[in-house]
Amino acid sequence: MGLQGRDLISGYDLDRKEVEVVFAMADELRSESRKDSLNRLPGCSLAMIFQKPSTRTRVSFETGISQLGGHGLFLSADDMQLRRGETIADTARTLSRYVDAIMIRTYDHQDVIDLARYADIPVINGLTDLLHPCQALADFYTIRQKLNGLQGLKLAYVGDGNNVAHSLMITAAIMGTDIVLATPNGFEPDKEIVGIAREIAAVSGSKVELTDDPMAAVEGANAIYTDVWASMGQEEEALLRRAIFRNYQINDEKLEAAAPEAIVLHCLPAHRGEEITDSVIDGAHSVVFDQAENRLHIQKAIMYLVMS
């Protein structure tokens, strides 16, 4: 299907047709029997490099490769020689002799780029400080599932201009979804990523807008998205960020300003009572846990398409 052997480093590695291929494969894998799925990648191995802690990324990839008939190898920072001075290039070349693909969750986006450059096998970005492409694919798969499409919808992202915000912008632009990002002054998304997203949006006919007004962002939105205010590695800033972001909480007032059928998303883990209230995350508009489940289906689709 044109994705065999490909890397997934950034959301713009895929065009709209290729994203639709991933979605279609996720639909197929969701509906087929567990026994049939085991014949998808029999005997294949996925190296999973984790330099950041994880719940959903590890469980979804490890369970996913197992359900496809393959095997996942968890490699923490303490398990590898990278901390002892081995280069990314040597790690990539070595793992290419042992396994069929690599998934990496790390801090520096350049590490993923370098890993893909020197590996002879597909490399999947499980998260960096800059981008989170698998998350965004699962998010838009969820929106499509719940709202029966993506073209022309309005997605409001409220919170920090972080890696999730970056990937949402890119995938929204690719899929023709309008996106408005509301962030406090000084916490805007990366200007280069905004520029890339707007270039893509100019072709797809969607809009990428920035504001510091969260109520304006959610007005009439079909989907509202938030994330933690202090990402991994920013724990020392948490107290300061709570004060700065206090008006950016997704609560009943903001939900009422959205479209009547609006859905609410959060990539988890959630700091309940900070960026989102219990009444919203547990309410009728929340699709947060369907969204979390869809990480499994989307990542199975990605693994199958690039490894088969």
How confident is the model at residue 83, as a pLDDT?
56
How confident is the model at residue 233, as a pLDDT?
67
pLDDT tens digit sequence for 188-245: 999 999 999 999 999 999 999 999 999 999 999 999 999 999 876 677 788 899 999 9
How confident is the model at residue 2, as a pLDDT?
86
56 is catalytic: no
134 is catalytic: no
135 is catalytic: yes
285 is catalytic: no
Prediction pTM value: 0.96
How confident is the model at residue 53, as a pLDDT?
85
Q: Which candidate in 40, 56, 58, 105 is catalytic?
A: 105
Q: Which candidate in 134, 166, 227, 285 is catalytic?
A: 227
Q: Which candidate in 58, 266, 285, 295 is catalytic?
A: 295
Q: Which candidate in 135, 145, 291, 299 is catalytic?
A: 135
Residues 102 and 83 sit within 8 Å (Cβ to Cβ): no
How confident is the model at residue 80, as a pLDDT?
77
- The parts of the chain modelled with pLDDT lower than 50 are none
Domains of the chain (ranges; CATH) run 11-132+295-307 (3.40.50.1370), 135-291 (3.40.50.1370)
How confident is the model at residue 238, as a pLDDT?
84
267 is catalytic: yes
